[in-house]
Structure 1
Amino acid sequence: MGKGIAVKPTAGVVYAPFDGKVTALLPSKHAIDLTNNQGVGLLIHIGKDTVELNGNHFEAYVSLNQLVKKGDKLLSFDIDQLVSEGYTVTTPIIITNTAEYSAVTFEDGNIKIEV
């Protein structure tokens, strides 16, 4: 799948980390795939097994193939409700095309990609 990190969100909002395009948005709204203008693919997957909720407690503010700018609101989710129903909100963020780059590293909260 690719290299990545996992974060435990403190707010139930996902913002675009870069300018790019929405290349996948699952109907359950718990995961989104973006591709930036340089071709880097990024998957943001909220929680574990949250697909089981069929979109309950999630809201999407973008659509498939939509162009986004860094800072645009992409998704929101109800952290308290997810936790109360037994779901973790730990969110993997994965570079989906890691193999296309000579190195992908994580330093000081930033992702560094070398071509």
Structure 2
Amino acid sequence: MFDFLKKKSKKHLLGAPAAGKAVSIKEVNDPTFSEEILGKGVAVIPSEGKIYAPADGEIGMVFDTLHAVSMTTDYGAEVLIHVGLDTVKMNGEGFEGHVKAGDKVKKGDLLLTVDLEKVKAAGYDIITPMLICNTGDYAAVEAMAGKEVTAGDDVLSVEEK
């Protein structure tokens, strides 16, 4: 009866894109990510090479080198998942894409697979930042880091203005 008095929650939770350890974005050894130049977020040190959709939405772009994927959630957050650091230099070797631009995805859908051992053997860090590129459109973007996660566990909170 008094539903109009209830404030609708404007907070959205994004799941971990991979199983592993969720860490602060500040721990990423690349200033583009650690200084939040591309947006606020969280990072996961993956324990397995499967990258999943953190929320329902639409794939914006899958990089030709398959090291990164962008998507827009159903509520408008522009998400970038970047597998490893400088992995663009691998030219897709060890990476396999499972989605393409324009695909609609649900939280938990498989986006990419990556051979983590191949990435490490090539000398690259496997830490996987997940950013909200349109951070300025939100009142708050907060990481839930410092814990072991399975893919899909809540790691990022996005609060609408």
TM-score, length-scaled by structure 1: 0.95
Following the alignment from structure 1 to structure 2, what is the Cα–Cα distance between the partners of residues 3 and 37? 19
Following the alignment from structure 1 to structure 2, what is the Cα–Cα distance between the partners of residues 48 and 107? 21
Give the letter aligned to residue 24 of structure 1: M
TM-score, length-scaled by structure 2: 0.69
**Correspondence 1:19-98 to 2 at 5 A:** 19-98=56-135
How far did residue 62 of structure 1 move? 0.4
Instruction: State the Cα deviation string for residues 11-65 of structure 1 (Å, max 9, x = none).
Output: 0000111110001110000000011110011100001110011111000000111
Following the alignment from structure 1 to structure 2, what is the Cα–Cα distance between the partners of residues 31 and 43? 7
Following the alignment from structure 2 to structure 1, what is the Cα–Cα distance between the partners of residues 143 and 89? 31
How far did residue 7 of structure 1 move? 1.2
Three-state SS of the structure 1 residue aligned to 2:130 is strand
**Count of paired positions:** 115
How far did residue 93 of structure 1 move? 0.7
After TM superposition, where is structure 1 displaced by more than 3 Å over at least 4 residues in a row?
none
> Identity of aligned pairs, percent?
41
Following the alignment from structure 1 to structure 2, what is the Cα–Cα distance between the partners of residues 40 and 29? 21
Three-state SS of the structure 1 residue aligned to 2:46 is coil
Unaligned stretches of 5+ residues in structure 1: none
Following the alignment from structure 2 to structure 1, what is the Cα–Cα distance between the partners of residues 104 and 70? 12
Give the letter aligned to residue 69 of structure 2: I
Three-state SS of the structure 2 residue aligned to 1:52 is helix
How far did residue 111 of structure 1 move? 1.6
2:42 maps to 5
Give the letter aligned to residue 107 of structure 1: M
Q: Decide which structure has the larger Cα Rg and report it.
A: 2
